Amino acid sequence: MNFQWYPGHMTKAKRQMQEDIKLIDLVIELVDARIPLSSRNPDIDELGKNKFRLILMNKSDLADKRQSEEWSKFFQEKGYFVYGLDARAKKGMKKITDIIMEACKEKIERDRKRGIKNRPIRAMVVGIPNVGKSTFINSYAGKAVAKTGNKPGVTKGKQWIRLGKNVELLDTPGILWPKFEDQLVGLRLALVGSIKDEILNTDELAVELIKLLKEKYAGILHERYNVNEDAKEIDIIYEIAKNRNCVSKGNEPDFSKAAILLIDEFRSGTLGKITVEWCGDYE
């Protein structure tokens, strides 16, 4: 199964970001807490190499807490400021301003020495499609200032958002990178919904998800769907179809319907708090 999705507007968006980075003090990078490394665009490091950096691990409410703690340590050791959040919830947003001020304290001190007071921190919000950038901005601003959508590709252009006296945010479109060197990265992005489902084979995606769950979260499929986890992945999906009344014409088990049900329940957190990418696998 080959994963790739790089529509034309992403090239244009990347060029625009290269222009805008000159105006920025801080790069705020949102990653998906379920795939913290695979949801990082490698181009962002090059783009923001001389800037202060903050990684927001979004969708932390859907991720395995123990794994999120390990990933936070991983990024902190590399010199990033890190904070876990659920952008849909308003709580914890006040703390982000404190972290931004802490991350940019050298810049604030330089301004003070030059006699410049109350100049806001200018931050670019970046991340891959469907990671929750616009949702985060709206929660942080306390009002709907950025377009949101439960699918990749909603934000098409840039927009500046002023947040009080201290912070200005630049929202940017979600961009992937032209080629995934590791198809496992593509698989993880597909699982969490950062690649359009219309171009994916969801039957195969569900099989890959079951392989991962059997390895990392033994028992979770049996508990949720009352299936035999020792069976082959394809047989497990048919079993889910029978147990969840996913049937086609003629009352036959509908494999594709069950596959989509499984993927949806994983993405929504109904299946449990699951991290697809484990920090320990990289050590």
| CATH number of the domain encompassing residue 104 | 3.40.50.300
183 occurs within a structural domain:
no
* Same domain, yes or no: 66 and 154: yes
To the question of whether residue 59 is assigned a binding role by annotation, the answer is: yes
pLDDT of residue 22: 86
* Same domain, yes or no: 153 and 228: no
Tens-place pLDDT, residues 250-263:
889 999 999 999 99
39 occurs within a structural domain:
yes
To the question of whether residue 60 is assigned a binding role by annotation, the answer is: yes
How would residue 152 be classed by pLDDT, with cut points 50, 70 and 90?
very low
To the question of whether residue 79 is assigned a binding role by annotation, the answer is: no
To the question of whether residue 90 is assigned a binding role by annotation, the answer is: no
* Same domain, yes or no: 53 and 158: yes
To the question of whether residue 133 is assigned a binding role by annotation, the answer is: yes
Tokens of 282: 């990289």
Domain hosting residue 229, numbered range:
201-282
Tens-place pLDDT, residues 88-111:
887 778 799 999 999 999 998 998
To the question of whether residue 91 is assigned a binding role by annotation, the answer is: no
* Same domain, yes or no: 207 and 164: no
CB neighbours of residue 252 within 10 Å: 11
Q: Which of 148-152, 184-188, 226-230, 265-269 has the lowest mean pLDDT?
A: 148-152
To the question of whether residue 50 is assigned a binding role by annotation, the answer is: no
To the question of whether residue 275 is assigned a binding role by annotation, the answer is: no
Q: Are 156 and 134 in contact (CB under 8 A)?
A: no
The structure's pTM equals 0.86
Q: Are 116 and 102 in contact (CB under 8 A)?
A: no
To the question of whether residue 257 is assigned a binding role by annotation, the answer is: no
Among 118, 150, 171, residue at a domain's last position: 171
Does the structure show a pLDDT above 70 at 158? no
190 occurs within a structural domain:
no
Tokens of 8: 């034309």
The rounded distance, in Å, linking the Cα atoms of 73 and 96 is: 18
243 occurs within a structural domain:
yes
How would residue 47 be classed by pLDDT, with cut points 50, 70 and 90?
confident
To the question of whether residue 179 is assigned a binding role by annotation, the answer is: no
115 occurs within a structural domain:
yes
Mean pLDDT of the chain: 86
Tens-place pLDDT, residues 179-218:
566 778 888 989 998 887 887 899 999 999 999 999 999 9
